[in-house]
């Protein structure tokens, strides 16, 4: 029996893969205009990085990590041995922790330096239950700005993300931007205590998991999908009533910059995001017309404590990530699919097989001149070669025939204009363009 892909994983076939490259290129262009430069970090990191960075009590760390095990370590485990913590490796479930690790390891933000503005693109891995828009391997594009606390960083990040979505073609009326501030280590503890006390008072209505969450990290309960928990949490204390003056000012300035850019948003005091490292600004963009229950197309926020958490100097940070597959679903809902683009500009056909060496030479010459060219590599009649050229959406077909070639000529058909002309074999490149 043929071996097939495990569920939660997807192949990107050529049209999709081409679209993905364009998607990343658009991000590189737009984010580049805001000063973001690319960084590529490995897809595997030491497990401890995610445990410390993302937080032990998060769903991502407690349930969804794919922990990689080498053959050697597997044998050690099967033999009842112990694997040292630095040999425990995990496929990255998100991009921020790895980028922050690299920034610290290579000292990319020396004291007093301008902030490092970094962008990444690539696959992430989470062992979630697969469904539409929720994969076990998915592709994210993200940015991280390390070394600046100013609200202008948060605002320009949000504006840049919205600009990317609109340039992709997601209509602005089909998405909503939710924003909130989660406070800082000064004001959040009191808020967390207030939520914990509120949850204790409503314990009988909450699910077991939320009652457990109330002990470790009560704010996680805002993400619970259970309708009874939702109803309880809807009336829970609001962070906005607990922010300290600095956090309130920071948040107000972020919103003022976003307002000035003409971007609309909804303030959502229940937005806490799934990862523990956020402080102050958090935001999420949801697709409204999406046919999928998984409608968060991107999100992020500020993480002023994360760098210290992974062992670096205190360095403020801000970042976001957006998901390629969910953007595709949102684009499809907006009637924007991907189409096959032509991969061949000139197809070189031959009247008979004896002319294949000349055809081979001509396609090489065309490629050297930067023209996408191809020829028949199988057993095909001229008619079938022309069909193939059509299928490849070739703009021109050069037909090599023995008599013409003896005179140094070749017939070129313009497949769009439906015209035909004879040009010198040695000058096909210049004659066509």
The footprint of ligand AMP (CB under 6 A) covers 94, 126, 128, 133-135, 138, 140, 274, 296-299, 321-323, 325-326
* Comparison of 129 and 421: residue with beta carbon closer to ligand AMP: 129
E-only strand ranges, 116-211: 116-125, 137-146, 175-181
**Tokens 């030491």, residue?**
46
- What are the angstrom distances between the C-alpha of 267 and each of 94, 219, 254? 25, 17, 12
Instruction: Quote the least distance from Cβ 327 to ligand AMP, whole Å.
Output: 7
Binding residues for L-histidine: 94-96, 126, 140, 144, 273, 277-278
Residues 6 or more apart whose Cβ sits within 8 Å of residue 313: 104, 111, 307
Instruction: Quote the least distance from Cβ 91 to ligand AMP, whole Å.
Output: 13
Instruction: Quote the least distance from Cβ 428 to ligand AMP, whole Å.
Output: 47
* Comparison of 31 and 347: residue with beta carbon closer to ligand AMP: 31
Point out the residue whose Cβ comes nearest to ligand AMP. Answer: 323
* Comparison of 141 and 155: residue with beta carbon closer to ligand AMP: 141
CB contact at 8 A, 175 and 334: no
* Comparison of 154 and 325: residue with beta carbon closer to ligand AMP: 325
* Comparison of 329 and 386: residue with beta carbon closer to ligand AMP: 329
Residues 6 or more apart whose Cβ sits within 8 Å of residue 274: 58, 59, 60, 220, 223
* Comparison of 283 and 396: residue with beta carbon closer to ligand AMP: 283
C-alpha–C-alpha distance, residues 368 and 64, integer Å: 48
Helix (H) or strand (E) holding 89: strand 89-91
Helix (H) or strand (E) holding 234: helix 227-234
Q: Residue 85 — φ and ψ, nearest 5°?
A: -60, -30
* Comparison of 39 and 287: residue with beta carbon closer to ligand AMP: 287
* Comparison of 60 and 233: residue with beta carbon closer to ligand AMP: 60
Q: Residue 138 — φ and ψ, nearest 5°?
A: -140, 165
Could you give the angle at the alpha carbon of 238 between the alpha carbons of 232 and 241, nearest 5°?
155
Instruction: Quote the least distance from Cβ 286 to ligand AMP, whole Å.
Output: 9
Instruction: Quote the least distance from Cβ 325 to ligand AMP, whole Å.
Output: 5
CB contact at 8 A, 125 and 144: no
Q: Residue 172 — φ and ψ, nearest 5°?
A: -60, -30
Instruction: Quote the least distance from Cβ 101 to ligand AMP, whole Å.
Output: 16
C-alpha–C-alpha distance, residues 4 and 6, integer Å: 7
* Comparison of 35 and 274: residue with beta carbon closer to ligand AMP: 274
Structure tokens at 338: 């991907």
Instruction: Quote the least distance from Cβ 342 to ligand AMP, whole Å.
Output: 30
Instruction: Quote the least distance from Cβ 142 to ligand AMP, whole Å.
Output: 8
E-only strand ranges, 263-418: 266-267, 279-287, 296-302, 317-323, 346-350, 373-375, 396-400, 409-414
- Pick from 365, 312, 322, 275: which is nearest to 164 by CA? 322
Binding residues: 94-96, 126, 140, 144, 273, 277-278
Instruction: Quote the least distance from Cβ 73 to ligand AMP, whole Å.
Output: 26
Q: Residue 371 — φ and ψ, nearest 5°?
A: -100, 130
């Amino acid at each position: 029996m043929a071996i097939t892909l495990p569920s939660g994983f997807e192949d990107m076939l050529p049209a999709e893969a081409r679209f993905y490259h364009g998607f990343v290129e658009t991000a590189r262009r737009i984010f580049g205009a805001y000063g973001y430069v690319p960084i590529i970090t490995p897809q595997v990191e030491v497990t401890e990085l995610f445990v410390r960075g993302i937080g032990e009590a998060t769903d991502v760390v407690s349930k969804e990590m794919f922990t990689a095990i080498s053959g050697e370590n597997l044998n050690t485990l099967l033999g009842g041995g112990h694997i040292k913590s630095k040999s425990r490796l995990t496929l990255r479930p998100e991009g921020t922790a790895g980028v922050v690790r690299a920034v610290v390891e290579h000292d990319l933000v020396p004291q007093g330096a301008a902030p490092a503005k970094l962008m990444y693109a690539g696959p992430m891995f989470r062992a979630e239950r697969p469904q539409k828009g929720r994969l076990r391997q998915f592709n994210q594009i993200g940015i991280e700005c390390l070394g600046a606390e100013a609200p202008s960083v948060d605002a320009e990040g949000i504006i840049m993300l919205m600009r990317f979505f609109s340039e992709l073609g997601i209509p602005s009326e089909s998405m909503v931007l939710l924003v909130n501030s989660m406070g800082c280590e000064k004001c959040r503890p009191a808020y967390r205590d207030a939520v914990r006390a509120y949850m204790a008072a409503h314990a009988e209505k909450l699910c077991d998991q939320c009652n457990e969450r109330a002990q470790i990290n009560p704010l996680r309960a805002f993400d619970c999908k259970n309708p009874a928990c939702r109803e309880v949490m809807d009336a829970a204390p609001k962070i906005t009533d607990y922010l300290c003056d600095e956090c309130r000012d920071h948040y107000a300035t972020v919103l003022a910059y976003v307002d000035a850019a003409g971007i609309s948003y909804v303030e959502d005091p229940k937005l806490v995001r799934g990862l523990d490292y956020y402080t102050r600004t958090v935001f999420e963009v949801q697709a409204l017309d999406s046919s999928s229950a998984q409608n968060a197309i991107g999100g992020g926020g500020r993480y002023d404590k994360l760098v210290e958490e992974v062992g670096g100097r205190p360095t403020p940070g801000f970042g976001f990530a957006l998901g390629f597959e969910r953007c595709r679903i949102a684009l499809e809902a907006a009637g924007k699919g991907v189409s096959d683009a032509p991969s061949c500009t000139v197809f070189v056909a031959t009247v008979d097989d004896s002319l294949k060496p000349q055809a081979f030479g001509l396609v090489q010459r065309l490629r050297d001149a930067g023209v996408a060219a191809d020829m028949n590599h199988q057993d095909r009649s001229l008619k079938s070669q022309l069909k193939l050229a059509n299928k490849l959406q070739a703009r021109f077909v050069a037909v090599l025939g023995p008599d013409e070639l003896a005179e140094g000529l070749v017939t070129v058909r313009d497949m769009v204009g439906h015209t035909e002309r004879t040009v010198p074999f040695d000058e096909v490149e210049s004659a066509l363009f």
